[in-house]
Amino acid sequence: MDVDRQPPPVISTPGLFETTGTLGVLLVDLENMVGCNAKPRSVAARMQVLIRCAGPRVKVVAACARGRITPDGEKVLHEHDVALLTVDGAKDAADEALLAEAYRLAGTGCRRFIVASNDSTFARLATIGDLEIVIWTTQTPRENYTGRASQVHRLPLPTSAAPSSTALAGRPENAASATMTGRRSTRPPSTPPPVASTRCARLVSAGAGLVAAGVLFGVGAALGDLAVRRLPCYPNRPR
């Protein structure tokens, strides 16, 4: 595909992707970066990494062909405030939809375009603003594509994620410096013993302590008495 060819004009709903107060737009080629009909956990894991890389105050727009994302996958995108563009199954239709949206946003003043895709067709965005490219380390960079970018981010491919309900809620303003949450223990919490059993155990323990103290006291007294009786000055010292 000619990387300098302009995308066809599209009619967008006014105000659908309001850019006031934002610092750019993250364009995600879902099939290229997430996969076709990926599981929700995989969608969540990869989208979290991409969103964090883009940083705070960035709009996120993703695109894929209809039937290539599951309803659960769409739910994950919604939870991450990602606008989804669905297209027909024509070749490069998703790419063209993202390019058309990028050009529309450029008309409103957007100048930073973070593209999560290894498809060189997005190189043309370098002519209208600051192009940043995000790809996985498992993908091979294309020089005619990466050479047009001001920055290229190569990220490790995430393999797992927490359930989507623990995902980035509302994408906090400090998302650029956020770190991934560590794994939580899968062992169930221990059940505390009944109160009555605990009290009984304490009483038994206390009683045992008193008995032991009494025994030690008695032994000590007997040994002391025996030692005194063996002194030379003791009148009834045993011979």
The string of pLDDT tens digits covering residues 184-206 is: 333 344 444 454 445 545 655 65
* Alpha carbon distance 16, 109 (integer Å): 15
The side-by-side arrangement of strands in the sheet containing 151-155 is 83-87, 59-65, 25-29, 112-116, 130-136, 151-155
CA distance 199 to 195: 6
Predicted confidence (pLDDT) at residue 55 exceeds the cutoff of 50: yes
pLDDT (0 to 100) of residue 164: 45
More confident residue, 181 or 225: 225
Most confident of 102-106, 164-168, 232-236: 102-106
Q: Which residues pair with 135 in a beta bridge?
A: 154
- Domain ranges across the chain: 25-177, 195-239
In the chain, the percentage of residues whose pLDDT exceeds 90 is 55
Confidence band, pLDDT 50/70/90 cuts, at residue 22: confident
Q: What is the mean pLDDT of residues 12-38?
A: 77
Please report the pLDDT score of residue 159 as a whole number. Answer: 83
What is the reported pLDDT for 89? 85
- 216 or 68, greater pLDDT: 68
Provide mean pLDDT across the span 175-184.
Answer: 34
pLDDT tens, position by position, 226-235: 554 555 545 5
Q: How far, in whole angstroms, is CA 231 from its chain's centroid?
A: 80
Give the C-alpha distances (Å, rounded to integers) separating 98 from 31, 86, 186, 216.
13, 10, 40, 85
Torsion on CA atoms 124, 150, 81, 17, rounded to nearest 10: -50
Any idea which fold 25-177 has? Rossmann fold (3.40.50)
Distance set, CA 215 to CA 18, 27, 204 (Å) = 83, 80, 17
Question: Which of 44-58, 89-103, 150-164, 201-215 bottoms out in mean pLDDT, i.e. has the lowest?
Answer: 201-215
Residue 96 has pLDDT above 60, yes or no: yes
The two tokens of residue 4 are 């300098």
* Percent of the chain residues topping a pLDDT of 70: 58
Mean pLDDT of the chain: 76
Instruction: Of 154, 160, 161, give the one whose Cα is nearest residue 79.
Output: 161
Q: Tell me: pLDDT of 39 over 80.
A: yes
Q: What is the dihedral of CA 218, 223, 224, 228, to 10 degrees?
A: 140
